[in-house]
Amino acid sequence: MTTHPSDHIDAMLHESRVIPASNAFTAQARVNREAYDAMYRQSIDDPDTFWAGVAGDLEWMAPWTQVLDWQEPHAKWFVGAQTNIAYNALDRNVARGLGNKRAIVWEGEDGEVRTYTYSQLLTEVKKAANALLGLGVQAGDRVTLYLPMIPEAAISMLACARIGAAHSVVFGGFSVSALSDRINDAQSRVLITADGGLRRGNLVPLKANADAAAQNAPGLEHIVVVNRGSSNPPMQEGRDVWWHDVVGAAEGEHDALPVDSEHPLFILYTSGSTGKPKGVLHTTGGYMVGTYLTTRTVFDLRDDDLYWCTADVGWVTGHSYIVYGPLLNGATVLMYEGAPNQPDWGRFWDIVQKHGVTILYTAPTAIRAIMRQGDEYPNRYDLSSLRLLGSVGEPINPEAWMWYYRVIGGERCPVVDTWWQTETGSIMLTTLPGAYPSKPGSAGLPMFGVDAAIMTREGEELGPDDGGLLVIKKPWPSMLRTVYGDDARYQKAYWGEIRGVYFAGDGARRDPDGYYTVMGRVDDVLNVSGHRLGTMEIESALVAHPSVSEAAVVGKPDDVKGECVVAFVTPQGGQTIDPKALRAHVSKEIGALARPDAIIIADALPKTRSGKIMRRFLRQIAAGREIEGDTSTLEDPSVLERLAAAEAL
Ligand code: WTA
């Protein structure tokens, strides 16, 4: 296992700017320095009192007898308590007078706008809950969602939670086989999809993909179809039902089911360094408390904010910071269906101006893509409603941070760089701007209850400025509970790498002020445009193609995507490899997001005498760097020269 620094990382290591929030922001901040210091201290020294205090803001149908039961590596939070997260997000907010407040403001890519107040959203969720019950979904079941960014995605998630069924959302960009694998792994009997979703003016054929996936998902009994695109897909009698029929006809009354605090809330599949994607399992109580607190404090959320997170609900950011965290806080959430460059690169700023967005949470890849188009797009719009900006998903290079701060935030809005993972459930590292100044390129300080450290592989804790592995030393409420159906993998991948601590899989360093700079994955996981991809998954897809004998996939630093996919492939005896066909094949196997940016065809791969592919050298070749390191362990070192000379296709 090696760290692979990129130019971005070098730039970060030399970054020394310190940018405090404005006096105006600091003066009214929800969490100022004193509060942060006191809260952080208590969250570490006396976590039970701290978390019980936060949980007390929410409603529980039965109290806990113990805040935390930790039998490493298994945690139970709010032991014995009963609650329902959909109840807390909706009924509770309606009961405290927010019924007429807007919960979701949705804008379609085609410009259509739909708004749901908290009361309206509650009614829709109750109807959807009744519709799911009508299809035979029971508490404890899993329901797979394969939806575009439409309000029905949030409604479906909340409806599942309301009846105690776990949702498994599959990103709409995933392929047919990725979808059927996930349906089968979760043993879902019901799939909720749409005829399609609008992306760059086209309708992504979700229902057609769902039909094809159903061919390989024998346990699937029903497909519920939202009519988004009026495209009239074929409906299979007895299996397929329209959302507007079943939800439309359902009763508008439903009492949320009280579930145990540790009742499964959702599964979300994510890539690891080995094998097939892991079904990260989150449960109810701790996740609810973690997303509630972080949304409130990190985004300094107020009653009159219009909060916009540009993620897709298919990723964890969409789960925690479009749906659960903001709605638990009674916020008004903006949801946008389409691409950032539709009809042009001004779309985000048009939305900010039109709706008066006050908080914007987006990814470095989007910032860099927009930055490339020049300042004229943002400069055409009035962005003065914005008061806080956030970044998530990958390291943000200081240049992009500064552009975001200056051009989008007008040097008025603090920028929160938030580090976390599908597994952590909620934000783990970020600098609360009312408390401490930001350092561009560094996520910064730990959130409440996060006992982070930098360690060596052997578990030795490192001091300031030493680069090493990012670990978390204590359990936290929103942590994953297991890998669905594979607890051994959970134990090994997260708590077995370094004894007694949670291993994040990221390389990082901490400066003398305690700020963490996360440098990127130290395993074979790529981060392409903020999307996690396992090199193994792409390699298996490549070798499944008849023309390919062997494949090795590595990441290469990319100015916009952060990292891009480079595939080294050797042909199957006598075959020619057609790069176009191979890319199409990977799209079909995994999804367009995994398509290699460059394909290098080789007669052999650099292997040790024992047959292990040395990806370290491939990374150097992909990046066009000189070969560094000991090549003497290679079976045939001359392979490297031939690869370096080969043309990328
Ligand atoms: C990376 C997304 C640096 C990291 C919420 C992590 C980041 C992986 C940051 C998780 C950040 C996320 N700075 N790196 N602010 N945020 N990452 O599961 O490598 O899709 O391990 O969760 O993204 O990706 P995931």
Ligand 1, atom 15, residue with closest C-alpha: 419
Core vs surface per residue 195-234: b (16+ CB within 10 A) or e: bbbbbeeebbbbbbbbbbbbeebeebbbbbbbbbbeeebe
Residues 6+ apart with CB under 8 A from 329: 292, 295, 296, 301
Q: Report the separation in Å between the CA atom of 561 and the middle of ligand 1, taken as the mean of its atom positions.
A: 13
Q: Report the separation in Å between the CA atom of 154 and the middle of ligand 1, taken as the mean of its atom positions.
A: 23
For residue 425, the 8-state DSSP code is: -
Q: Report the separation in Å between the CA atom of 99 and the middle of ligand 1, taken as the mean of its atom positions.
A: 35
Does the Cβ of 315 fall within 6 Å of ligand 1? yes
């807390």: which residue's tokens?
88
Shortest-distance atom of ligand 1 to CA 429: 15
Does the Cβ of 78 fall within 6 Å of ligand 1? no
Does the Cβ of 392 fall within 6 Å of ligand 1? yes
| 603, burial (CB in 10 Å: exposed 0-12, middle 13-18, buried 19+) | exposed
Ligand 1, atom 1, residue with closest C-alpha: 394
Ligand 1, atom 12, residue with closest C-alpha: 393
Q: Report the separation in Å between the CA atom of 420 and the middle of ligand 1, taken as the mean of its atom positions.
A: 5
**Distances in whole angstroms, Cα of residue 7 to Cα of each of 3, 324, 453, 493, 629:** 13, 36, 24, 29, 19
Ligand 1, atom 11, residue with closest C-alpha: 419
Which residues in the chain show pLDDT less than 70? 1-15
Does the Cβ of 478 fall within 6 Å of ligand 1? no
Q: Which pair of structure tokens corresponds to residue 88? A: 């807390």
Shortest-distance atom of ligand 1 to CA 532: 20
Does the Cβ of 124 fall within 6 Å of ligand 1? no
Q: Report the separation in Å between the CA atom of 441 and the middle of ligand 1, taken as the mean of its atom positions.
A: 13
Q: Report the separation in Å between the CA atom of 520 and the middle of ligand 1, taken as the mean of its atom positions.
A: 8
Q: Report the separation in Å between the CA atom of 394 and the middle of ligand 1, taken as the mean of its atom positions.
A: 5
Tell which one of 419, 422, 439 to mutate to probe ligand 1, the residue whose CB is within 8 A of the most ligand atoms. Answer: 419
Does the Cβ of 422 fall within 6 Å of ligand 1? yes
Does the Cβ of 417 fall within 6 Å of ligand 1? yes
Residue 4's pLDDT is: 46
Which residues does residue 483 pair with via DSSP β-bridges, in sequence order?
280
Q: Report the separation in Å between the CA atom of 44 and the middle of ligand 1, taken as the mean of its atom positions.
A: 23
Shortest-distance atom of ligand 1 to CA 520: 19
Coil, helix or strand at residue 114: strand
Q: Report the separation in Å between the CA atom of 506 and the middle of ligand 1, taken as the mean of its atom positions.
A: 8
Does the Cβ of 405 fall within 6 Å of ligand 1? no
Q: Report the separation in Å between the CA atom of 531 and the middle of ligand 1, taken as the mean of its atom positions.
A: 9
Q: Any alpha helices (H) in 195-345, and if so which ranges? A: 206-215, 243-246, 285-298, 316-318, 325-328
Residue 273's pLDDT is: 79
**Residue 477 — left, alpha, or beta (φ > 0 → left; ψ -120 to 50 → alpha)?**
alpha
